[in-house]
Structure 1
Amino acid sequence: MEDIKSLKPRYEQMYLMLRNKIQAGEYAVGDRIPSEKELMEEFSVSRITSKKALDMLVQDGYIMRQPGRGSFVIQHSSGTVEEPARLQDNKPSGEESVQRKQIVLGLIMEDFSDSYGKEMLAEMERTAQELGVYLLLRISFCQPEVEEQAIMMLREYGVDGLIIYPTRGQNFSTEILKLVIDKFPHVLVDRYMKWTDTTAISSDNVSATRMGVQHLFQGGHRHIGLLASRVTDNVAIEERIEGFVQAHAEGGILLDRSSWLTDMNWTGTGSPDDQIQKNVKMIQAMLREHPRITALFAMEYELALIAKEAVEGLGMHIPSQISIICFDSPPSTSALYSFTHLRQNQKEIGQLAVHNVLKLIEGAPLPSKISLDVELVIGKSTGPAPKQA
């Protein structure tokens, strides 16, 4: 392949090589060129790469692809297209004759688990397959530098658009900001960028949290502790705390911020067990200091598990003494415990992410924020407030 060490993506290098051979007459009009499989083997590339090179030749009018037969040259240059006589038979008509460029989308996710992300990822892949779109996945493992490298790599590869579930951080990465400046088609999932036109798809976190707090109020709870990871790390958490405050204001219930823990972390330095135990002790200290607390609202599922360990470690019973509610929970078949939780519509988020980035590729205008309703699922972790409280 010419200039194999070029910085151009492999599919573009293959496209240029094949195009040059066609223009030089090495492949005459009507000749069959190598198939995807043959190109894969010759250049040691993936099928996606070889397919995209051929799709570019189709788009530029150099070849015609015949299902079950192969790809055939129909012109030598950018001039008039000549259709070989032997390809006239069985020529498709209408929409079937329209050759479309293969769309490849990049997907970058901070991480995923049974409680959140796994179902959304599966739905993105199902939707992409139904639409004939390729999806290339990269996991950042909550590391901003890995996320930035993934964005650069996928753009260099030549993806048509990006779906990003961003890593936590006080600021979005410079590479995401470059996407905004370059007007590169991209959609953010779960988090959004304030003061930009970037399309973000997420749950209505404010309304969802209000619904959860109102459920506790209906059970007679008036002293509710709040558990959250670092507020500056996550726009979604900011919105959930806003909903927590709104619910208290609407219910006329006094808000006690001294019963909030908003700097919890289970992914920092040190072993995971040490981080968990540190959080367990923080919750236990808060419960000892505020004995009137009858419920805990965990803004994330992992915090609910930590809260459960903390409560049981104090010899208290759930839910007769302390109720716990959280966001998200694995399906009942795989859940460690049946928490009352607010279930986000991961399937719809996944579907909308794929459909909307395709709309952006086509140049369609989209709102900067798309919010979805959340469902309250009653589990074993909430009940009436204890009478003695």
Structure 2
Amino acid sequence: MNETTSSKPMYEKIFDEVKQLIVNKSYGQGERVPSEKELAETYNVSRITSKKALEMLAAEHLIVRKPGRGSFVADPAVDYIDSVMSPETTSDGTVFNSFNHEEKTIGLIITDFGNSYGTGLIYGMEQASRDNDCFLVLRRTFGVPENEEQSIQKLLSLGVDGLIVFPAQGEFFNAEILKLVIGRFPLVLVDRHLKGVAAASIGTDNIQAALKGTEYLFDLGHTHISFLSPPPADTTALEERVEGFIQAHAERGIAVDKGLWVSDLTSTLPNSFNDENIEHDISRLVSHLQENPAITALFAVEYNIALLARTAVERLGLRIPEDISIICFDSPPTPLGSGYAFTHLRQNEEEMGRLAVENVLRIMNGQTVSNKIMLEAKLISGESTGPAKPSNSN
């Protein structure tokens, strides 16, 4: 094997070798060629890689892929016309069309969604999928890595053409994602990127967003700010928000006092949202505020933590924002007459969702997309922030 050949991706190597066998008539018209599983075992690669090689052969009209039966050497005069005109149905009722693949199917794997964050993301993806004549199939993982792994495997087995993944929080990214990247499967990550993984990602410019929110508090006279977060878990979004918070202090020449921070709140983490954990976190915040009376503002990295903070402040008989201001990332729309809204940094969810769908479609079509897209968050002034009390700000 020469150097040029050896440097090719494995799926191209498999494609070239099977194509040569077809051209040389080693596989005759109508004859079955090795399956994804057989090719994966022969070449010691993942099924994602072998699947891509077979898809390339089908795209060149060299084979016809018949779900549930296998892949067969095409008869150009018959199989191509049939495959364009007639979809095939597998035993579980899933409809495929070997060559007429204009209607793509995209799998969406997301931790969860709610009125504070996630619904707008899905709305943007759903609208973009309609605009681009493709289908969106959603699976929730609730932030559990094992669920994420199973969801990826399930959607791949169903034959999705591409994946959008909102990665689960955790110290290590899922090995299934790495397999997708190595196999060059069309993949876009949303909300966060994964260190050391060359996958396209779309998210918020969290550094600038946290910097903007912190500067807003500084402008109101707050210099003793408590940063509230879950435990560090090597999650890029959280790390970037911490970085933005620290950067804002550096730019204003204000010392960062990590003794004012609370970074061990767990009740908002996956599988931890229960009354006992919620009460534990609220009590933790009550004690922290009692021990640090100089605090005049709280910066919560997410909306649910802001709710914990508000409860803790109210239990102490303090007023928001007269005594303590609260700012957070994301906040649900406030219905008319409900009377309360947090000052928050609103992420551009719909645009993030739209770009995720459009970029995964571009990758399917062999186009190059930006490896990392970061969108600006907008500061929305609400009822939870006000000027710092002079007596508490020094």
Shorter-chain TM-score above 0.5: yes
1:15 CA drift (Å): 7.3
**1:108 match: secondary structure:** strand
**2:262 match: secondary structure:** strand
Corresponding residue of 1:314: 316
**Cα distance in 1, alignment partners of residues 255 and 71 from structure 2:** 72
Q: Is the 8 A contact 1:229 1:263 kept in 2?
A: yes
Counterpart residue identity of residue 299, structure 1: V
Corresponding residue of 2:224: 223
Q: Is the 8 A contact 2:68 2:91 kept in 1?
A: no
Relative to the length of structure 2, the TM-score reads 0.77
Corresponding residue of 1:301: 303
CA shift in 2, pair 1:278/1:12, >3 Å: farther
CA displacement, residues 65-89 of structure 1 (integer Å, 9 cap, x when unaligned): xxxxxxxxxxxxxxxxxxxxxxxxx
CA shift in 2, pair 1:33/1:244, >3 Å: closer
1:337 CA drift (Å): 3.5
**Cα distance in 2, alignment partners of residues 195 and 365 from structure 1:** 19
Residue 331 of structure 1 pairs with residue 329 of structure 2: no
1:112 CA drift (Å): 0.7
Q: Is the 8 A contact 1:197 1:367 kept in 2?
A: no
**1:230 match: secondary structure:** coil
Corresponding residue of 1:263: 264
Question: What are the residue-to-residue correspondences of 1:210-249 with 2, within 5 Å?
Answer: 210-249=211-250
**Cα distance in 2, alignment partners of residues 14 and 161 from structure 1:** 18
Question: What are the residue-to-residue correspondences of 1:134-153 with 2, within 5 Å?
Answer: 134-153=135-154
CA shift in 2, pair 1:360/1:116, >3 Å: same
Corresponding residue of 1:62: none
Q: Is the 8 A contact 2:187 2:199 kept in 1?
A: yes
**Cα distance in 2, alignment partners of residues 173 and 29 from structure 1:** 38
Q: Is the 8 A contact 2:265 2:281 kept in 1?
A: yes
1:153 CA drift (Å): 1.4
Corresponding residue of 1:372: 375
Residue 355 of structure 1 pairs with residue 358 of structure 2: yes
Q: Is the 8 A contact 1:196 1:368 kept in 2?
A: no
Counterpart residue identity of residue 360, structure 1: I
1:185 CA drift (Å): 1.2
**2:382 match: secondary structure:** coil
Corresponding residue of 1:165: 166
Alignment partner of 2:279 out of 277, 280, 292: 277
CA shift in 2, pair 1:271/1:241, >3 Å: closer
**1:231 match: secondary structure:** coil
Q: Is the 8 A contact 1:210 1:244 kept in 2?
A: yes
Corresponding residue of 2:113: 112
**2:264 match: secondary structure:** strand
Q: Is the 8 A contact 2:162 2:187 kept in 1?
A: yes
Question: What are the residue-to-residue correspondences of 1:28-67 with 2, within 5 Å?
Answer: 43=91, 45=93, 49-50=94-95, 52=96, 55-56=97-98, 59=99
**1:149 match: secondary structure:** helix
**Cα distance in 2, alignment partners of residues 246 and 211 from structure 1:** 10
Q: Is the 8 A contact 1:301 1:329 kept in 2?
A: yes
**Cα distance in 2, alignment partners of residues 17 and 184 from structure 1:** 21
Q: CA RMSD in A?
A: 3.0
1:367 CA drift (Å): 2.4
**Cα distance in 1, alignment partners of residues 131 and 313 from structure 2:** 46
**Cα distance in 1, alignment partners of residues 82 and 109 from structure 2:** 40
Counterpart residue identity of residue 373, structure 1: E
- Where do 5+ consecutive residues of structure 1 fail to align? 1-5, 60-98
**1:122 match: secondary structure:** helix
Alignment partner of 2:387 out of 381, 384, 387: 384
CA displacement, residues 212-266 of structure 1 (integer Å, 9 cap, x when unaligned): 0111011011100000112225210100000000000101111110011112111
1:179 CA drift (Å): 1.1
CA shift in 2, pair 1:270/1:190, >3 Å: closer
Residue 174 of structure 1 pairs with residue 169 of structure 2: no
**Cα distance in 2, alignment partners of residues 270 and 32 from structure 1:** 50
**Cα distance in 1, alignment partners of residues 374 and 196 from structure 2:** 17
1:288 CA drift (Å): 1.0
1:33 CA drift (Å): 12
Q: Is the 8 A contact 1:105 1:160 kept in 2?
A: yes
1:134 CA drift (Å): 1.2
CA displacement, residues 116-138 of structure 1 (integer Å, 9 cap, x when unaligned): 11111111011101111111111
CA shift in 2, pair 1:32/1:106, >3 Å: closer
1:384 CA drift (Å): 0.3
Corresponding residue of 1:94: none
Q: Is the 8 A contact 1:226 1:262 kept in 2?
A: yes
Corresponding residue of 1:79: none
CA shift in 2, pair 1:160/1:320, >3 Å: same
Counterpart residue identity of residue 311, structure 1: V
CA displacement, residues 44-96 of structure 1 (integer Å, 9 cap, x when unaligned): 51xxx22x2xx21xx2xxxxxxxxxxxxxxxxxxxxxxxxxxxxxxxxxxxxx
**Cα distance in 2, alignment partners of residues 28 and 220 from structure 1:** 73
1:31 CA drift (Å): 9.6
Q: Work out the percentage of aligned pairs sharing the same amino acid.
A: 43
Question: What are the residue-to-residue correspondences of 1:98-109 with 2, within 5 Å?
Answer: 100-109=101-110
CA shift in 2, pair 1:19/1:260, >3 Å: same
- Where do 5+ consecutive residues of structure 2 fail to align? 1-34, 38-50, 52-63
CA shift in 2, pair 1:107/1:31, >3 Å: closer
**Cα distance in 2, alignment partners of residues 33 and 367 from structure 1:** 33
Structure 1, 99-108 or 182-191: larger mean CA deviation: 99-108
CA shift in 2, pair 1:186/1:319, >3 Å: same
**2:226 match: secondary structure:** strand
Counterpart residue identity of residue 356, structure 1: N
**Cα distance in 2, alignment partners of residues 137 and 310 from structure 1:** 36
CA shift in 2, pair 1:182/1:249, >3 Å: same
What is the aligned length?
A: 330
**Cα distance in 1, alignment partners of residues 194 and 68 from structure 2:** 37
